[in-house]
Amino acid sequence: MPAFGTSWLDAHPSPPLDVHAASAILVEADQREVLWARTPDARRAPASLAKLVTVLVAMQLASSLDQVVTVPAAVNQLEGDATRMGLQPGEQVSVRDLMYGIFLVSANDAAETLAQAFVPRSRFIQLMNREAETLGMRDSHFSNPTGLDDPDLYSTAYDLAIAAGAILTDYPQLVTIAGTRQYTIPATSTHPAFYLANLNELIGTYPGATGLKTGFTDDAGYCLAATATRAGRTLIAIVLGSDTHLNQDASTLLDYGFGIPAGSVPSYWLPAVHLLTQ
C-alpha cells in the first residue's frame, strides 16, 4: 500500500508553480495526502536529507536522548569540506547533542558518531536500508550515514517525505530540536562548548516553520525537507536538486498547501507501521 494518498492530486493536478527544483513533493502530513508533485519518484542524490533515516535508526538504538556516546576516530577521516559541529575522537557527548548537530548544522561528524555508537557502522547502514524498506521507501538505498555523494546512495522526494513524516509522528522531540534557531551545547569535562546556528533559513522567517533538514552536495544540488504547522495543519515539502532559490521553492510549496481550504483534503487511511531494526 502506498504511504500517501493521491485523491486530492488526482482531482487537482499540480499547477505550474514557480519552483526551480528538479524534483519536489508537498504532503499534508496528518491526512497523508499528496498536494503537489514534480517527478516525485525520480531517484536522486539526497545529500544530507539521508540523515533523516540516520536519526530514525539512531533513535531506535539509543536508550534515550541523554545516552552518552564516544566520538570515534573515524570522524578524522571525513572529507575536508564535510560539514561538522567540531567533534574530536574520544570526546563523550549525548545523543541529544548529536541531534542538535545534525539538524542545525548538518554535522557529518555527528552522523558518523551515531552510526558507530551502538552497532558496527556496516550494521548501522544495513539497518538504515531495513528501516527504509519497513517504512515503504521503495526507491531508496543508503551506503553511508551522512548523505555524502556515492553512486550507491539515492532516494526520491516521495521517499524522503515518508522519512520526514515518520520523524514528525514518532519523535516530536526531534522536531523541537530541528526548529531551534541557535543552540549552545555547554562545555563539560568530556567535550568543549559547541555553538550551533540553524542552516535552515525558513526557521524564524517563514510563519509556522518547524524544520526539518537542509542538504547540499555537488551531485544533489540544494535540497530541503521543510515542515510547517499552521492552525493545526502540518505540511511537508521536499525539494531536491534546486539552486539558490531553494528557500523560495519551499516557501512557494508551503504557501500553496496552506492556501488550500482546511478540511477539503481527504484523509488517507493507513495501518500502523511497526518499525523493525533489531
Q: In the prediction, which pLDDT does 270 show?
A: 59
The bridge status of strand 233-242 relative to strand 221-230 is antiparallel
Q: Is 122 a catalytic residue?
A: no
Tell me the backbone φ, ψ of residue 229, rounded to 5 degrees.
Answer: -130, 130
pLDDT at position 81 is 72
Q: Is the pLDDT of residue 195 over 50?
A: yes
* Residue 277 pLDDT grade (very low, low, confident, very high; cuts 50, 70, 90): very low
Neighbouring-strand partners of residue 92: 70
What is the Cα 263 distance to its own chain's centre? Answer: 27
Q: List the catalytic residue out of 7, 14, 23, 51.
A: 51
Q: 24 has which bridge partners?
A: 38, 239
- Strands 182-185 and 92-94 come out as unpaired
Measured CA to CA, the distance from residue 17 to residue 127 in angstroms comes to 37
Specify the CATH superfamily of domain 7-259. DD-peptidase/beta-lactamase superfamily (3.40.710.10)
pLDDT digits (tens, 9 = 90+) for 209-235: 999 999 999 999 999 999 999 999 999
Q: What is the spatial distance between Cα 235 and Cα 254, in angstroms, rounded to a whole number?
A: 7
- Asked if the model's pLDDT at residue 251 lies above 60, the reply is yes
Q: Report the pLDDT value the prediction gives residue 276, as an integer from 0 to 100.
A: 47
Q: Give dist(CA 257, CA 245) in Å, integer.
A: 18
The answer to whether 130 and 275 are in contact (CB under 8 A) is no
pLDDT for 274:
43
The percent of residues above 70 in pLDDT, for the chain, comes to 96
Q: What is the pLDDT of residues 131-183, one digit of tens each?
A: 999 999 999 999 999 999 999 999 999 999 999 999 999 999 999 999 999 99
Active site residue 189: no
Catalytic annotation, pick one of 23, 94, 106, 140 = 106
Task: Give yes or no for residue 273 having a pLDDT over 60.
Answer: no
Our answer to whether residue 213 is catalytic in this structure is no
**pLDDT tens-place string over residues 35-85:** 999 999 999 999 999 999 999 999 999 999 999 999 999 888 887 677 899
Burial class (CB in 10 A: 0-12, 13-18, 19+), 122: exposed
How many residues are recorded in the chain? 278
Q: Average pLDDT of the chain? A: 94
Contacts of 77 (CB under 8 A, 6+ apart): none
CB within 8 Å of 35: residues ≥ 6 apart: 8, 9, 12, 26, 27, 28, 235, 256, 257, 260, 265
Which pLDDT tens digit goes with each residue over 13-42? 999 999 999 999 999 999 999 999 999 999
Biggest CA-to-CA distance, the chain: 59
Which residue ranges make up each domain of the chain?
A: 7-259
Report pLDDT digits (tens) over 80-133: 677 899 999 999 999 999 999 999 999 999 999 999 999 999 999 999 999 999
Q: What pLDDT is stored for residue 272 in this prediction?
A: 47
| pTM score | 0.95
Whose cell is 538504515? That residue is 128
In a 3-state reduction of DSSP, which class is residue 135? helix
pLDDT for the residue numbered 53: 98
Give me the helix-helix angle, 108-117 and 51-61, nearest 10°.
40
Residue 226: phi and psi, rounded to 5, are -105, 130
CA distance linking residue 154 with residue 216, whole number of Å: 14
> 205-242: string of b/e by CB count within 10 Å (b at 16+)?
ebeebbbbbbbbbeebbbbbbbbbbeeebbbbbbbbbb
Distances, alpha carbon 9 to alpha carbons 5, 38, 73, 136, 159, in Å: 9, 11, 48, 20, 17
Of the residues 23, 48, 242, 251, only one is catalytic, namely 48
